[in-house]
């Protein structure tokens, strides 16, 4: 096989140790021509001092390319220290599996180095430092939002235990009205009429229903639980606000505000998801040859599984779970919009493919749209809910004709000349 990188290294990474194998060419004593290769293996720790010694050892051999597997988060410290001096390839563990029965740390390092040397692997997409920092911010914010949702569910559980049916009347238990009612309950108020009178906005029209829902059996035990849960929620609200401010500042510093504004024009995409899109895929679309490559990388494109002419399951492969989750949430919001292409696409697919697959298809469309919006630096242009009918008007007419005839009418299809 052809040698793509004559001076390279493979790293088998663990929490407390790194086994490194560097492969270097050797020259013939008579001709001076490189005819063989020499492999050398060493072990290092994972502290900064040990990793700097690893970097020096690789530099002494003139190594240009380094390969390592994605191992939870243990690859990140090594990548951070080596990326400035070498071309570091972070590899998907599924793509570099060795034959079973001969697995050792040294063998793994040699195997990675040999694969890299012959160009038999592809590096994973690792964005620059500024984008990785933005990723950390958006992902941690998502974690805090999920924790808050869990606490809200626990508040609802306490209310049910106290025979309070506030959630049956109020859509948001922790909205302005709900929070005022909960604060009064914690303070010791038990009169359902007084509690219902705290409702504001649209909920005031449901005061009669609220009175019935708030006739509970609240004990000091329930008040204690609600107090502690609401304190936790308040703390998370403050933390999420801090993350929002930090993410906004990071986007402004990186000059991403224009792209975020353009992404915000896509149905179902708000500012938070636009920030997630920028954090996960960046603003340089040259990294992805086509929108299809991006969709496959994100895990929202149909998979290929065909053998002997038979097509098997088209299950989507694993991708960027943070991006995929956000896209599905955006799809859920987009299908509720009126007069949009995305909502029409969902209605077209859901009878045949089901809700989940139709949602993934809409998520795929949103990502494709985002790819072109970022690439062209143009806002989203709505195609309209009747796009599919306008694309093939003859097929639409033939499909509707039998339905009209079943109602007792005679249908004659004739092409109408287009108006100039």
Token look-up 């997630």 returns: 276
- Distance, CA of 125 to CA of 118 (rounded, Å): 20
Token look-up 């051999």 returns: 61
Please choose, from the candidates 74, 84, 81, the residue with its C-alpha nearest in 3D space to the C-alpha of residue 53: 81
Residue 32 has pLDDT above 70, yes or no: no
For residue 411 the two structure tokens come to 């249908």
Higher pLDDT, 36 or 56: 56
- Distance, CA of 247 to CA of 364 (rounded, Å): 25
- Distance, CA of 263 to CA of 282 (rounded, Å): 12
- SS3 category, 358: helix
Contact 365, 302 (CB under 8 A): no
DSSP per residue, 288-356: SSSHHHHHHHHT-S----EETTEE---PPPP--HHHHHHHHHHHHHHTTSSS-HHHHHHHHHHHHH-HH
Domain boundaries, the chain: 8-117, 130-254, 257-305+314-376
For residue 227 the two structure tokens come to 């107090």
- Distance, CA of 230 to CA of 155 (rounded, Å): 8
pTM: 0.87
In angstroms, what is the C-alpha Rg of the chain?
A: 30
Span 234-258, pLDDT tens digits: 999 999 999 999 999 999 999 999 9
Span 287-343, pLDDT tens digits: 999 999 999 999 998 877 777 777 777 778 888 899 999 999 999 999 999 999 999
Looking at domain 8-117, does it have CATH number 3.30.420.10?
yes
Residue 30 has a pLDDT of 47
- Distance, CA of 8 to CA of 21 (rounded, Å): 9
- Parallel, antiparallel or unpaired: strands 87-91 and 65-69: parallel
Residue 420 has a pLDDT of 46
Averaged pLDDT of the chain: 90
Confidence class for position 400, pLDDT limits 50, 70, 90: confident
């Amino acid at each position: 096989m052809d040698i793509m990188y004559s001076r390279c290294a493979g790293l088998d990474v663990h929490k407390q140790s790194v086994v490194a194998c560097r492969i270097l060419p050797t020259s013939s004593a008579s001709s001076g021509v490189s005819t063989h290769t020499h492999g050398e293996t060493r072990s290092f720790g994972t502290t900064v001092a040990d990793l700097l010694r690893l970097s020096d050892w690789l530099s002494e051999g003139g190594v240009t390319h380094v390969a390592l597997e994605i191992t939870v988060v243990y690859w990140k410290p090594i990548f951070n220290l080596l990326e400035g001096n070498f071309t570091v390839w972070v590899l998907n563990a599924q793509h570099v599996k060795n034959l079973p029965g001969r697995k050792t740390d040294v063998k793994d390092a040699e195997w990675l180095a040999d694969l890299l040397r012959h160009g038999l692997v592809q590096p994973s997409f690792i964005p620059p430092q500024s984008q990785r920092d933005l990723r950390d911010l958006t992902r941690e914010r998502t974690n805090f939002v999920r924790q808050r949702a869990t606490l809200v569910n626990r508040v609802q559980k306490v209310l049910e235990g106290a025979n309070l049916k506030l959630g049956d009347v109020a859509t948001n238990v922790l909205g302005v009205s709900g929070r005022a009612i909960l604060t009064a309950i914690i303070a010791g108020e038990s009169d359902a009429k007084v509690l219902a009178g705290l409702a504001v906005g649209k909920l005031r029209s449901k005061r009669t229903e609220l009175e019935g829902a708030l006739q509970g059996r609240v004990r000091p035990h329930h008040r204690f639980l609600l107090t502690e849960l609401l304190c936790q929620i308040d703390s998370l609200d403050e933390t999420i606000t801090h993350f929002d401010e930090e993410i906004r500042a990071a986007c402004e510093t990186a000059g991403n505000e224009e792209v975020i504004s353009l992404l915000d024009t896509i149905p179902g995409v708000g500012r938070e998801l636009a920030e997630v899109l920028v954090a996960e895929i960046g603003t340089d679309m040259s990294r992805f040859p086509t929108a299809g490559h991006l969709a496959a990388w994100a895990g929202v494109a149909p998979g290929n599984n065909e053998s002997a002419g038979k097509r098997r399951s088209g299950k989507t492969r694993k991708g960027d779970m943070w991006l995929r989750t956000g896209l599905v949430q955006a799809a859920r919001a987009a299908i509720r919009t009126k007069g949009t292409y995305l909502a029409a696409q969902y209605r077209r697919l859901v009878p045949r493919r089901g809700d989940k697959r139709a949602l993934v298809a809409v998520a795929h469309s949103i990502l494709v749209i985002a790819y072109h919006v970022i690439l062209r630096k143009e806002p989203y242009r709505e195609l309209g809910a009747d796009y599919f009918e306008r694309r093939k008007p003859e097929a639409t007419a033939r499909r509707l004709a039998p339905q009209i005839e079943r109602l007792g009418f005679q249908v004659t299809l004739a092409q109408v000349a287009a108006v100039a």
